[in-house]
Structure 1
Amino acid sequence: MSLQPYYWSDPMQEQFDVEIESILEANGHFHITINEPIVKPAGGGQAGDRGVLILGEKKYEFIDTILHDGHTVLVMKNSPTRGKGKAILKLDMTWRKAMMTNHTSEHIFVGAMKRKYPEIKLGKIWIDGFHGTVVLEGKIIPLEKILEIEDEVNGLIRDSISVTTKVVSADEVDESVRAREGVTSKNEIIRLVNVGEFDSSACSGIHVTNTNEIRMFKIIDVKPQDRNTHIEFISGANAVRTLAEIYNTVLTRKYSYPFEIEQLGSILDKSKTLQSAYEEAIEKILLLMKEGPNKEQLNEVSFWHEFLPGCDMSTIRHLIKELNVEEPSVTLFLTTGKKTNVIMWTKGMPKDAAYYIAEIVEDLGGRGGGSADAYTGGFTDIDNPQELFQNLIEKVKGRILE
């Protein structure tokens, strides 16, 4: 058995001959123990390897790797039937490479952050094949400063710096090495991961061998938490793909709503202002509806009706809820957009909402449905929605007065 994990010396080896030592079922999964530490188990803030175990012509996928009592254990949903024997293990290299780029990115990013803010401490981290998260404790760091560090990280990536590892005794680790508290007292030997002369860290995880393998580093979320800063990032092919998708989305919108891409920041600021104005307008509409003339008393029933072009259905439902009408009542709204929609809400009426409107909507060429006190319908290709609404009002009034 190797004294050190294979992935320390050759993280790019994809296939191994292994010996299955045992198979156990636990918590709805199968745990397959293998004889050597050739795959990276979850631990130290990093997810475990994934891949397949091949026995003859059959393949069994493992979705995680863990360490149990010093043994490497593959976690599977489906298991081989025999308990022991030889097998071929093949790693999911897409997952591993993504973990390598994310993990080395985290080292560079945290190293750069520590240089600028020596007082911060590294809190919880998590690295997997999708993304990475870090919590920097002791300071709320402004987004602009974090993005400056992001730019520095991408510069170091472009500089093609060698990433090397070295195993040393614990007493050789000095203050120049970033290490978790207690690491040197708990371990006799320490593995150092060095990003050129920029950063040296105690780490047992998997890494690229050169920063240019990372390709790109991108912050995707920043959240202040008490006196800490929670940061989420992506790197490698995932970062390239995500940025391409975002740019392509913006590019396609450019031709639907003409603007220059350089104006995107101003457009988003304007969008926020418009959203605030829209919410204020909704409140004014609600006030006008409560005080306005479009309310009729039909015997004992209050009949509210409003034509609201441009409002979406969620806004209409919000308005109905906020009206807080007294029983008995019928509320009817019509809104236009891609489709002409009608919504009715009844309160304290002797019959279901559909009784007062469903047949009318169908006669006018629409379709809809609903529950006991609500009905929602729609029309397509309506040239004159106001005329349609007047027809609905008159016919619904007739039903109410029956």
Structure 2
Amino acid sequence: METFDELYYREPYTREFDASVVSCEPADEGFAIELDQTAFYPTGGGQPGDRGTLSVGTDEGQVVAHVREAVPGEGAGEVIHLSDISLPVGASVHGCLDWTWRRDNMDAHTGEHIVSGIVHALFGYNNVGFHMGERCIEVDFDGVLTSDDALDVERRANAAIREDVSVEALLPSPAELAEMDYRSKKDHDGQIRVVRIAGVDSCACCGTHVSSTGQVGLIKILRVTTKKKRTRLELLCGRRALEACEAAMAALRDTSNFLTVGDEEVPEAVRRLSTERDDLKHQLKQAGRKQIDQYVATLAPEGSLAVCCLPELDVEDLRYLCEQVLERTDATVCAGISPVEDCPRLAYVIASTDADLRPACKELNRRLDGRGGGKAQLVQGSWASSSDAALTAIRDVLG
């Protein structure tokens, strides 16, 4: 449990500090170091722990321990620094935070408050899940938000950033707390810390935040996902949001240059290309069907089995081939196979006018390392086999 008197709470903008080593014990993949004070925020409340270094001066020079994560200890306000090397108990250390990581998390946590406060004010939904990851922030709400709703929330959140209102961390007394209107996901024992963003949000929280909304810089909602009457927003804040927008603009510029159109014309150009592609696919399909028709017109099966091997046909074309053979020849069973360039498997379709093909399909799959199946008079799948081996097996089983 936090005492809220820790250095990372009192002075959240502290990047470097001096302390003494209280304990150092072996831990998984390294050592667990406790200091008499620290600016390293420990993992908790949805916010990742801080990273950085602890340096100790020795006669041989500077010894630097790399802290991969700060985590809560067992006692109140206790922070464990998970380090790659041990440090001597009692040694004076100089701590240095990975400030980019910490500042990203401060921006993110503050941005989450802004978004959650606006969603709660507009729709009455509660934040029921929150995770700050390496890629983005995920926030879950107990209600449905549409894409238009999310866009409205994003615009209001960035308006609050432009207003640059204060972000305060309050430690109200029980009497003061009873008079306050604030969000809280669970009951708390002891002192409650309320983070208040003027006119935007008040929420019980133990994370680190920037001192005003303007310092967040930018909030960008990346994705809206709805499932079982809940909505997850994936968002970025601050530097990460700016870099994502820069990357998106660079991708847009590459696309517009490739299409030789203006940035604003890219959507229409892509739609036009998609339509042209669909038209070409249809024309290719029709041309392929004509080739199949010409092939069937020259086919003269001997007996009731027709075996056809044509390259570069998909399963849909193979079905069409078998249908045409059964309709236009005297064959009662047609097996169509197609080798595909640079593919180790053969596609197959077998059709019949009246016979149950499932036992034969099972036997062919066994012989030819195949997979697939289907209905009594139509089976399909693929075989890990050469064309010659497949043709021989077909004639053995179906001939």
> What letter matches 1:182 in structure 2?
D
Contact kept in structure 1, 2:54 and 2:65, CA below 8 Å:
yes
Which of 146, 163, 166 matches 2:167? Answer: 163
Deviation at 1:98, TM superposition (A): 0.4
Listed as ranges, the matches of 1:140-289 within 5 Å are: 140-173=144-177, 174-183=179-188, 186-187=189-190, 189-267=191-269
> What letter matches 2:139 in structure 1?
V
Contact kept in structure 2, 1:20 and 1:83, CA below 8 Å:
yes
Alpha-carbon distance in 1 for matches of 2:4, 2:155: 39
> What letter matches 1:17 in structure 2?
D
Which of 57, 64, 67 matches 1:59? Answer: 64
Which of 326, 335, 339 matches 1:331? Answer: 339
* Partner residue in 1 for 2:137: 132
RMSD: 3.8
Q: Deviations over 1:233-277 (max 9, x none)?
A: 101111111111111221122122023322344455556767777
> TM-score with structure 2 length normalisation?
0.70
SS of 2:49 mapped into structure 1? coil
* Partner residue in 2 for 1:358: none
Name structure 2 gaps, 5 residues minimum: 323-333, 348-363, 365-383, 388-399
Contact kept in structure 1, 2:128 and 2:185, CA below 8 Å:
no
Alpha-carbon distance in 2 for matches of 1:193, 1:90: 26
* Partner residue in 2 for 1:101: 107
Q: Deviations over 1:106-153 (max 9, x none)?
A: 1111111111111x121110125653111001x211011111110111
SS of 2:245 mapped into structure 1? helix
Structure 1 pair 129–13 and aligned structure 2 pair: CA distance change class (3 A): farther
Alpha-carbon distance in 1 for matches of 2:86, 2:385: 56
Name structure 1 gaps, 5 residues minimum: 307-315, 334-341, 349-371, 376-402
* Partner residue in 2 for 1:117: 123
Contact kept in structure 2, 1:99 and 1:129, CA below 8 Å:
no
Contact kept in structure 2, 1:51 and 1:62, CA below 8 Å:
yes
Structure 1 pair 345–202 and aligned structure 2 pair: CA distance change class (3 A): closer
> What letter matches 2:226 in structure 1?
P
Q: How many percent of aligned residue pairs carry the same amino acid?
A: 21
Q: Deviations over 1:152-206 (max 9, x none)?
A: 11111111112122211234223522222313xx12x222222123322221110
> What letter matches 1:30 in structure 2?
F
Structure 1 pair 136–289 and aligned structure 2 pair: CA distance change class (3 A): farther
SS of 1:182 mapped into structure 2? coil
> What letter matches 1:125 in structure 2?
F
Structure 1 pair 285–141 and aligned structure 2 pair: CA distance change class (3 A): farther
Contact kept in structure 2, 1:102 and 1:234, CA below 8 Å:
yes
SS of 1:135 mapped into structure 2? strand
> TM-score with structure 1 length normalisation?
0.69
Deviation at 1:38, TM superposition (A): 2.9
Bigger Cα Rg: 2
Contact kept in structure 2, 1:102 and 1:128, CA below 8 Å:
no
